[in-house]
Structure 1
Amino acid sequence: MATVHHWTGLEARALRFALRMSVRAFAEHLGVGVRTVSKWEKLRSSTEPRPDTQAILDTALARADASVHLRFETYLSEAGHPGPGGARRVTVAGPRAWEYETWTDDLDRTVVALSRQNFAFADDLLRRWLSRFEPADLDDKGLYLHARSTALQGDLQRDQGAVLGPLSAQRSYAGARSVFSRLDIPRRVAQLDLSLAVVAEMSGQLDTAARHYETLAVDDRLSRRDRARARLWVGTALSKDGNHDYASRVMLAATREFEDLTEPDDWSVAHQKLALAHRGTGDLTAALHFIDIARTTGTTDSPMQRVRLDTAHGHILLSDAATLEDGLRVLDKAAKVAAEYGLSHQRRSIENITRTQAVRGTARLR
Structure 2
Amino acid sequence: MAAVTTWTGREANALRQALRMSVTGFADHLGAARRTVARWSSQRDKVHLRADMQAALDTVLARATLDVRERFEAMVRAGTSGALVDPPTLPVTDTRIHTGDGSIHDIDSDGDVRRRDLLTGVTISGTALPSVAALLDALVAPPRNTEPVARPLWQFARDVAAAKIDYQACRYEHVLAGLVTLLPALEPTRADTEGEQRAQLDSLASDLYHVVGSVLLKVGDKGMALVAAERSTRAASVSQDPVSMAASARIMTHALMSNGHSTQARQLAGDAAETLRRDTRLASTDAVAVYGALLLRGAIAAARDDNRDNAQAMLDEASHAAGRLGYDGNDRWTGFGTTNVLLHRVNIALTLGDAGTAIALARHVPLDKIRLAERKASLFVDVARAYTQWGRYEHGLNALRSAYEVAPEEVRCRPAVQRIASDLAVLTRGHVRTAVLDFAQRAGIRA
TM-score range, shorter chain: 0.5 to 0.7
User: Residues of 2 paired with 1:250 and 1:183: CA distance?
Assistant: 28
Percent pairwise identity: 15
User: Residues of 2 paired with 1:241 and 1:99: CA distance?
Assistant: 44
**Distance change (3 Å), C-alpha of 1:188 and 1:358:** same
**Distance change (3 Å), C-alpha of 1:319 and 1:126:** closer
User: Residues of 2 paired with 1:243 and 1:172: CA distance?
Assistant: 28
Q: Is the 8 Å Cα contact of residues 248 and 278 (structure 1) preserved in structure 2?
A: no
User: Can you give the 5+ residue segments of structure 1 that lack an aligned partner in the other structure?
Assistant: 1-94
Deviations 1:69-127 (A, max 9, x none): xxxxxxxxxxxxxxxxxxxxxxxxxx99x822332333333332222223344344444
Residue type of the partner of 1:114?
A: Y
Deviation, 1:327, is: 1.5
Q: Across the two proteins, how many residue pairs are aligned to each other?
A: 261
RCO higher in 1 or 2 (8 Å CA, sep ≥ 6)? 2
User: Residues of 1 paired with 2:384 and 2:192: CA distance?
Assistant: 49
User: Residues of 2 paired with 1:257 and 1:117: CA distance?
Assistant: 27
> Which position in structure 2 is the counterpart of 1:325?
394
Residues 1:138 and 2:192 are matched in the alignment: yes
> Which position in structure 2 is the counterpart of 1:275?
346
Q: What secondary structure sits across from 1:294 in the alignment?
A: coil
Q: 1:114 aligns with which of 167, 176, 190?
A: 167
Q: What secondary structure sits across from 2:240 in the alignment?
A: coil
User: Can you give the 5+ residue segments of structure 2 that lack an aligned partner in the other structure?
Assistant: 1-148, 281-286, 329-334, 430-447
Alignment of 1:33-112 (within 5 A): 99-112=152-165
Residue type of the partner of 1:189?
A: M
* TM-score normalised according to structure 1 size: 0.59
Aligned-pair Cα RMSD in Å: 3.5
**Distance change (3 Å), C-alpha of 1:196 and 1:277:** closer
User: Residues of 1 paired with 2:266 and 2:186: CA distance?
Assistant: 37
User: Residues of 1 paired with 2:220 and 2:387: CA distance?
Assistant: 29
Q: 1:182 aligns with which of 223, 233, 238?
A: 238
Q: 2:376 aligns with which of 291, 306, 309?
A: 306
Residues 1:226 and 2:299 are matched in the alignment: no
Q: Is the 8 Å Cα contact of residues 272 and 312 (structure 1) preserved in structure 2?
A: no
User: Residues of 2 paired with 1:280 and 1:146: CA distance?
Assistant: 35
**Distance change (3 Å), C-alpha of 1:104 and 1:186:** same
Deviation, 1:213, is: 1.3
**Distance change (3 Å), C-alpha of 1:183 and 1:218:** closer
Residues 1:242 and 2:296 are matched in the alignment: no
Residue type of the partner of 1:122?
A: V
Q: 1:289 aligns with which of 360, 383, 394?
A: 360
Rg: which structure is higher? 1
Deviations 1:248-296 (A, max 9, x none): 3431331232123124253223212222444466665543332122253
Deviation, 1:235, is: 1.6
**Distance change (3 Å), C-alpha of 1:245 and 1:327:** farther
Q: What secondary structure sits across from 2:152 in the alignment?
A: helix
Q: What secondary structure sits across from 1:217 in the alignment?
A: helix
User: Residues of 1 paired with 2:234 and 2:353: CA distance?
Assistant: 44
Residues 1:352 and 2:419 are matched in the alignment: yes
Question: Which has more helix, going by share of residues?
Answer: 1
Residue type of the partner of 1:275?
A: V
User: Residues of 1 paired with 2:415 and 2:405: CA distance?
Assistant: 12
Q: Is the 8 Å Cα contact of residues 117 and 341 (structure 1) preserved in structure 2?
A: yes
* TM-score normalised according to structure 2 size: 0.50
